A and B are shown apart, each in its own frame.
Chain A
Amino acid sequence: MNELEQEYTAGFTTNVESELTGRGLNENTVRLISAKNNEPEWLLEFRLDALNKLSTMTEPDWAELKYTRPDYDNIYYHSRPKKQFKSLDEVPQEILDDFEKLGIPLHERAKLAGVAVDAVFDSVSIGTTYKEKLAEEGIIFCSFNEAVQHHPELVKQYVGSVVPRGDNWFACINSAVFSDGSFVYIPEGKRCPLELSTYFRINSAGSGQFERTLIIADKDSYVSYLEGCTAPQRDENQLHAAVVELVALDRAEIKYSTVQNWYPGDEHGVGGVYNFVTKRAQCRGVKSRVSWTQVETGSAITWKYPSCVLQGEGSTGEFYSVAVTKGRQQADTGTKMIHIGANTRSKIISKGISLGNSTMTYRGLVRMTPGAKNARNYTQCDSLMIGNDSRSNTVPYTDCRNDTAQIEHEATTGRVSDEELYYLATRGLDAEQAASTIVNGFCRSVLNTLPLEFAAEANKLLSVTMEGSIG
């Protein structure tokens, strides 16, 4: 085994029989998924319309990414354990054991204190903890499919309202064949007492994951949501094309954190997850606030730009990102801040680290529309290269259409210096400990924004990522 494989501790496969259906991106697949989920007619129409739009679109090729295009007609778009279950009590023990191995205990006696978890295994949610406790507060936290059944009016009102089905190639695929995901609704004036979390796991070979997440924070509410993900180690590339939509109404706040650890492939670039994700938040209400924090260490290919549309007057969007690539990984990631309302604010702090033969690109857009009077943006974009063969690109794009807006941009690019590594070696730190200390320092301003539960995990993940990569 090479070093990368040794380090990827989540690369095991759960030994459970799966039912793979819906091969190929076509109407039969769309109808089959919709029927399996027992969806209402309007949602089937939503899917079919997306499929129809897809036929007029092409896969984007502007990103700094080189990869073999997925064979969309050979992917199974729906996979679930053969044995059906209706509650967490009926979930096969092998699945529960493996989630526990990933640090996500789901059964009653061991479930995480202070964190409610929705666990998504391939195309289905296998269970959500603390659901009843949250329901007492009027908070809805359940799988997307469950929301479609029990809260269709909310789903219908908001799904596709932030990321339209024809938004881009990958979002359009998702809109046609999305499987399960999470749904959150925080009622007016409510501060969610628990961290909400979804853990995504791809298990079956030959399949992909196309989850859909929708979070609505009503007026004066607050929620912190965490997302984690892993996949088995395989020689094939697996497709993950998710859509996440966030809606923040007046004075509401959503804090969305991601620790992304999909299988990155081996040192020769064989295997790994294609992570093509569309994440967007709409700050619709006055003084609403959304912050995206992401720690990205996994995936062979990452194409991801969590964005904020700042509509409400005085609304705020924030993006904090640490992205690490190594081996043959390629990441093209960044954010978009679209200022529409007056006095809107945005802040972008991006830290990119590239090691080995990897390529890291930051791509960002800050747009000040004519109505965004007195809007402000601050962007800090730093990249750190370790070794002589890694690449780092920064592509910031600013588009200012009113003369009262202010945009600030700071950027640095550097390599870890031999002087720093030697100094730390003289204090007894080996090459990996030294690089890990420097990288942690480089990322500190972003890691500090993570909820406590995730910060420790992110630190550990960064240390593991450094192992075997230096020297």
Chain B
Amino acid sequence: MLKITNLSASIGDKQILNNVNIELAEGRCLLVTGQNGAGKSTLLHAIMGRPDIAITGNIDLDSVELHNMDCHERARSGVFLAHQAPPTIDGVNTMTLFKEVQKAQNLDITTGNLIKQVKDLSEQFGLPDDWSKRAFNSGASGGERKKGELMQAEVLSKKTKLLLLDEPDSGLEQSSRQKIVELIENTCNSGGSVMLVTHDKELQAKYNDNKLDLNNA
């Protein structure tokens, strides 16, 4: 259960969220809507623990006080954020990054199986053969970056209790959007929760029954 109580968030002098309250049960997906600048991404990053976002209020996940943790500790506690615009990391090849995540999160998978899983996933997503050998996101299109985020979400899915999806669909071809739905369903079916920010009408319609509108929050 995710419980957010009286959450306010600001970046520098600018207050972006004011007194947001959320209760999200296991197995549920919350659609977060609002105009540009309403604070949808800020909300997800505030939950993730981005250092430049100052918050007041509480963020509890299964009674664990996320608001008292550093970002990497929140990740290790089962929070996964699929970034809207993941950066390029020069020199660090994609497979190396997966291995570093495996080490940092103590994933229950052998390196051999991890390599196989990444290879299989990149095939499923239609990514180039040498994708995992390239520097992370180097020369990648917006859509390829999104696929990379979804692949990481898949690899970490067994550990994920709270999946934060920040416009996972933008730049993705239609066929890959099904992957987003599968990811959400799988997370919910295995007892996790999802928060989804999207401008995609189909996805919005699909998850419209449980919605937080930040314009009115």
Contacts and interface: CB of A to CB of B under 8 A. Distances in A.
Same complex origin of A and B: yes
Interface of A: 417-420, 422-431, 433-434, 437-438, 440-445
23 contacts: A422-B50, A423-B83, A424-B72, A424-B100, A425-B49, A425-B70, A426-B80, A427-B75, A427-B105, A428-B72, A428-B101, A429-B72, A430-B104, A433-B72, A433-B100, A440-B91, A440-B96, A441-B90, A441-B91, A441-B92, A441-B96, A442-B90, A443-B91
Interface in B24-51: 48-51
Contacts of B89: 420, 423-424, 437-438, 441
B119 to A, nearest CB: 19
A352 to B, nearest CB: 14
B118 interface: no
B100 A429 contact: yes
Nearest to B79: A426
- Give the interface SS of chain A, mostly helix, strand, loop or mixed: helix
Contact of A426 (B52, B83, B92, B135): B83
Given A425-B70, A425-B72, A429-B72, A438 B91 contact: yes
B71 interface: yes
B192 to A, nearest CB: 16
Interface residues of B, number: 29
B97 interface: yes
Contacts of B176: none
Nearest to B101: A427
Given A419-B87, A438-B91, A442-B90, A433 B104 contact: yes
A446 to B, nearest CB: 11
- Give the interface SS of chain B, mostly helix, strand, loop or mixed: mixed
A428 B104 contact: yes
B75 A425 contact: yes
A416 to B, nearest CB: 10
Interface string B65-108: 00000111001100011010011011111001100110111000
A424 to B, nearest CB: 8
Give 8 closest A-B pairs by Cβ, nearest first.
A441-B91, A441-B92, A428-B75, A425-B71, A428-B104, A428-B105, A425-B72, A429-B104
B72 A430 contact: yes
B21 interface: no
A112 to B, nearest CB: 26
Contact of B71 (A422, A438, A443): A422
Given A441-B89, A444-B91, A428 B76 contact: yes
B54 to A, nearest CB: 15
Contacts of B70: 425, 430
Given A422-B51, A433-B100, 20 more contacts: A418-B52, A420-B89, A422-B50, A423-B86, A425-B49, A426-B72, A426-B83, A428-B104, A429-B100, A431-B72, A433-B72, A434-B72, A437-B89, A437-B96, A437-B97, A437-B100, A438-B89, A438-B92, A441-B89, A444-B91
A319 B71 CA distance: 39
B176 to A, nearest CB: 21
B110 to A, nearest CB: 18
A428 B152 CA distance: 12
Contacts of B97: 424, 427, 437
Contacts of A444: 91, 93
Nearest to A351: B91
A417 B91 contact: no
Contact of B104 (A420, A427, A443): A427
